Amino acid sequence: MTGGHADPLILRILDANLNRVREGLRVLEEHARFVLEDAALSRACKEARHEVRELTAMLPSDLVRTRDIVGDVGAGINTPTEAARADASDVATAAAKRTQEALRVIEEYAKVVSAGAASRVERLRYLVYELELRVHRHAVARERLGEARVYVILTEALCRKGWLETAEAVLSAGAEMLQLREKTLPDRELLDRAKRLADLCRGRGRTFIVNDRPDIARLARADGAHVGRSDLPAPQVRRILGPRGLVGVSTHNTRELEASLSEGPDYVAVGPMFPSSTKPLGAPAGLEALREARNVTSLPRVAIGGIRPDNAARVCEADPEAILCVCSAVISEPSPGSAVETLLRVVQRGGADEKRTGATNAAREGGSVRSRNCD
């Protein structure tokens, strides 16, 4: 105890609310573990519980002695809403709110017995706010992207046909997501193109993402933005996009994946899946990186890099829920729509019969820079 008096009534309040915090965090952890099946989020909840143990050590050691269950006048007071929960997500939200309220009580009353503890509680309270937000965003992202399977990157220089004709073709064929990736377009032209594609995707119920430029994404009313590890962090991207904007991040290994997850993206891209002599990213992450990502997070996972109809089944086998992200394998083809339909057939088979020949693989790998540069 660093200051004040150990008033038994105050200690009793602290004891009761520490119990509420522990219980609430455990509910959140179980939700992350068993409902969301997200190892990273589950670990974050567990680390928060560890912080509570450290906080408890800063308070008087005789808290439990003040506990009086029989004499607690509020023990039998319940409201109808406490006994009703709509679903598992509702359970998690209620647990988070209860935890935050209990932490606020601890923060105020801890000031009487330990100023240091009170300061630590404040930090913990904001951590729980963030955990609640991550749980909520996780559920929203899975709802919005859970059915997506093919994600096409649109770059005009790689399109065999016009960029707008290509976009219309891949969306008509069933691609659920479209990303505008233009590194050199002047801002005005980029914004105009983004607006046209956003309108096109919105009219078809598809998801439209802008690469690297959350400012353009917001102005164009796109669904979100995709950024790399060297671009703006996900929280800053979200501030630009607004609360409904989707944030996707690129990762190339487990370390980057875990670092990205701590920033709260809505989906993660893992890759490159396969080698490409023209993409300066070193050795490909490979299918094992996708398998590891599947074990770490249940957020929507995007497999990217070198994916084509002749190897897409291997990606599906590594992660049946992965969204296949393609560029030149679709947009550089004579019929982009047919290329999307082929990928969708592979996805629908669940990766069960990858039956392309080695000659086809060799022909693809030996193709022009135009057909390989984007993947």
Of the three residues 142, 164, 182, the one that is the final residue of a domain is 142
Is residue 55 situated within a structural domain?
A: yes
Contacts of 23 (CB under 8 A, 6+ apart): 95, 98
Burial class (CB in 10 A: 0-12, 13-18, 19+), 151: buried
238-266: per-residue pLDDT in tens? 999 999 999 999 999 999 999 999 899 99
Residues 191, 319, single domain; the answer is: yes
Task: Answer for the pair 314, 351: CB distance below 8 angstroms, yes or no.
Answer: yes
> 105 is written with which tokens?
């009580």
Same domain, 117 and 201: no
Q: What pLDDT, on the 0 to 100 scale, is given for residue 187?
A: 98
**Are residues 241 and 347 both part of a single domain?**
yes
Domain membership of residue 3 (yes or no) is: no
Residue 277 lies in a domain: yes
Domain of 362, CATH number, reads: 3.20.20.70
Final residue in a domain of this structure, among 142, 157, 186? 142
Q: Which residues pair with 325 in a beta bridge?
A: 151, 304
Q: Are 293 and 326 members of one domain?
A: yes
Q: Is it true that the peptide bond before 233 is cis, omega within 30 degrees of 0? A: no
Question: What is the predicted pLDDT for the residue at 70?
Answer: 62
User: Residue 247's beta-bridge partner residues?
Assistant: 225
Report the predicted TM-score, pTM, of the whole model to 2 decimal places. Answer: 0.81
DSSP state of 33: I
Q: Which residue has the tokens 């709110």?
A: 97
Question: What is the domain count for the chain?
Answer: 2
**Interacting residues of 145 by C-beta distance below 8 A, sequence separation 6+:** 177, 207, 246, 266, 267, 300, 323
Question: Do residues 113 and 170 both lie within one domain?
Answer: no
Is residue 223 included in any domain, yes or no?
yes
- Closest of 311, 266, 265 to residue 286, by C-alpha: 311
Whether residue 240 sits in one domain with residue 124? no
Rg of the chain over CA atoms, in angstroms? 25
Last residue of a domain, one of 142, 162, 197: 142
177-198 confidence digits (pLDDT tens): 999 999 999 999 999 999 999 9
User: What number of other Cβ atoms are within 10 A of residue 249's Cβ?
Assistant: 26
Question: Are 343 and 194 within one domain?
Answer: yes
2 part of a folded domain: no
Give the integer Cα–Cα distance in Å for 81 and 64: 29
What was the pLDDT predicted at 86?
86
Residues 326 and 198 in one domain: yes
Question: Does the residue 20 lie in any domain?
Answer: yes
Same structural domain for residues 122 and 216?
no
**What residue spans of the chain are helical by DSSP H?**
8-30, 39-57, 88-113, 115-145, 163-173, 187-204, 214-219, 234-241, 254-261, 286-296, 312-318, 328-331, 336-348, 358-365
What does the buried/exposed string (b/e) look like for 293-328 if buried means 16 or more CB atoms within 10 Å of the residue's CB?
bbebbbbbbbbbbbbbbbbbbbbbbbbeebbbbbbb
Give the dihedral sign, CA 70/75/77/80. negative
Q: What are the start-end ranges of the H helices in 174-266? A: 187-204, 214-219, 234-241, 254-261
Say if 56 falls within a structural domain. yes
Backbone angles phi, psi at 359, to 5 degrees: -65, -40
**Per-residue pLDDT of the chain in tens (375 residues, 90 and over written 9):** 444 457 899 999 999 999 999 999 999 999 999 999 888 899 999 999 999 999 999 988 888 777 767 667 676 667 777 667 889 999 999 999 999 999 999 999 999 988 889 999 999 999 999 999 999 999 999 999 999 999 999 999 999 999 999 999 999 999 999 999 999 999 999 999 999 999 999 999 999 999 999 999 999 999 999 999 999 999 999 999 999 999 999 999 999 999 999 899 999 999 999 975 335 556 789 999 999 999 999 999 999 999 999 999 999 999 999 999 999 999 999 999 999 999 999 999 875 444 443 334 434 433 433 344 455
Orientation of helix 8-30 relative to helix 88-113, angle to 10°: 150
Give the integer Cα–Cα distance in Å for 250 and 175. Answer: 20
133 shares its domain with 186: no
CATH number of 22's domain: 1.20.1260
3-state secondary structure of 73: coil
Domain that holds residue 282: 147-371
**Claim to verify: residue 298 and residue 154 sit in the same structural domain:** yes
Q: Say whether both 194 and 75 belong to one domain.
A: no
Residue 82 counted as domain residue: yes
